[in-house]
Amino acid sequence: MILVVGATGALGSEICRLLTTSNRSVRALVRTTADESRVEQLRALGVELVPGDLKDRASLDAICRGVATVISTATTTMSRQPGDSIPSVDQDGQLQLVEAARAAGVKRFVYVSYSSHLDVDCPLTTAKRSVEQSLARSGMTYTVLRPSFFMEVWLSPALGFDPQNARAQIFGSGQQKISFVSAKDVARFAVACLDNRTAYNATIELGGPEALSPLEVVHRFEQVIGREFTVETLPEAVLESQLAGATDPLQKSFTALMIGYARGDAIDMAETLTKYRGELTSVDEYARRDVGSGARDAGRETSGASTH
Ligand SMILES: NC(=O)c1ccc[n+]([C@@H]2O[C@H](COP(=O)([O-])OP(=O)(O)OC[C@H]3O[C@@H](n4cnc5c(N)ncnc54)[C@H](OP(=O)(O)O)[C@@H]3O)[C@@H](O)[C@H]2O)c1
């Protein structure tokens, strides 16, 4: 039995889909407050749904019983309920999960952290690195995945990257290289590493197939949608002063991630790709497949622009 914690999230739900497609038995921790349509999707996949919360140790002890493998993707950064915070969920909650899994005799644990280049001091970095350390000491066979920025999040309107309206907010000068990665590829790695011995007791940095600067990314999207973007940059110095003034752990952590983005996050995937099958999604593919068509249609409607 494989337990997925974070199963109602973007990454966790894709992991559940991949696992059930390959006929694995999957249990998911589901909060009573979770979005009903996401819960329904998991139910339709045949996932066993068990109520729980990372802040509730008893629920973690119960849900880990009979489990061989835990995959945890949960985070409170975009998904908060009263009482949730980065210290209470991403740190203490994940540490409790590691301890509950160890106590229940779980053998294998896959934890989704983030890239080593994002080590700007903030509550989320403290949480991620302390969970990584506790896992390494736990005695369970662990894999820590350290992905770069997800295309689906950082190249989306939620973060000011809006192909539909040909606008982009980028952090830093725009020249720094970042290995934007598709969350779908991260899900694929999380599943592939279960049976890959090179992933045992390993920490794996994960990026997309090429490191591109945000300005290069904008250019790739311009080619797909056939319109020029309006680009607004937020300099690193401005982000640094925002970080110095931030008091809330979430605000601090988001600002620190933007600083990490402004400094760049290039990840060389050559060696990792020798150990795993499958292709990584490029920014061009992502632009064409997931975003490009909608933005291109919008561009035709508003400006009649041709592609260039
Ligand atoms: N976004 C990026 O660019 C990026 C880059 C590198 C690494 N990562 C990491 O990737 C991972 C997955 O991200 P994602 O996009 O899938 O996040 P997401 O869509 O926001 O999903 C978060 C999940 O965590 C669950 N959760 C939140 N608080 C919880 C609690 N108290 N107890 C139990 N579960 C709780 C949520 O449950 P509910 O549905 O009930 O709220 C949801 O299932 C995270 O660890 C993140 O740090 C992200």
Q: What is the three-class DSSP state of 282?
A: coil
CB under 6 Å to ligand 1: residues?
Answer: 6-12, 29, 31, 33-35, 53-55, 73-76, 78-79, 84, 89, 93, 112, 114, 147, 149-150, 153-154
Kindly give the distance from the C-alpha atom of residue 199 to the centroid of ligand 1, in angstroms, as a whole number. Answer: 22
Residues in the chain, pLDDT under 70: 290-308
Kindly give the distance from the C-alpha atom of residue 177 to the centroid of ligand 1, in angstroms, as a whole number. Answer: 25
Q: What is the three-class DSSP state of 51?
A: strand
Kindly give the distance from the C-alpha atom of residue 28 to the centroid of ligand 1, in angstroms, as a whole number. Answer: 13
pTM of the complete model:
0.94
139 Cβ neighbours under 8 A, 6+ residues apart? 102
Kindly give the distance from the C-alpha atom of residue 77 to the centroid of ligand 1, in angstroms, as a whole number. Answer: 7
Q: What percent of the chain has pLDDT over 70?
A: 94
Nearest CA to 262 among 207, 199, 206, 215? Answer: 215
* CA-derived radius of gyration, the chain: 20
pLDDT tens digits, 4-44: 999 999 999 999 999 999 999 999 999 999 999 999 999 99
Residue 236 burial (C-beta neighbours within 10 Å; 0-12, 13-18, 19+): middle
Which pLDDT score, from 0 to 100, does residue 307 have?
Answer: 28
Which pairs count as long-range contacts for 156-161, CB under 8 Å and 24+ apart, including other chains? 156/291, 160/232
The pick from 73, 85, 128, 265 for probing ligand 1's pocket by mutation, whose C-beta has the most ligand atoms within 8 angstroms, reads 73
Q: Name the residue at shortest CA distance from atom 17 of ligand 1.
A: 9
Nearest CA to 221 among 154, 132, 151, 291? Answer: 291
pLDDT tens digits, 203-227: 999 999 999 999 999 999 999 999 9
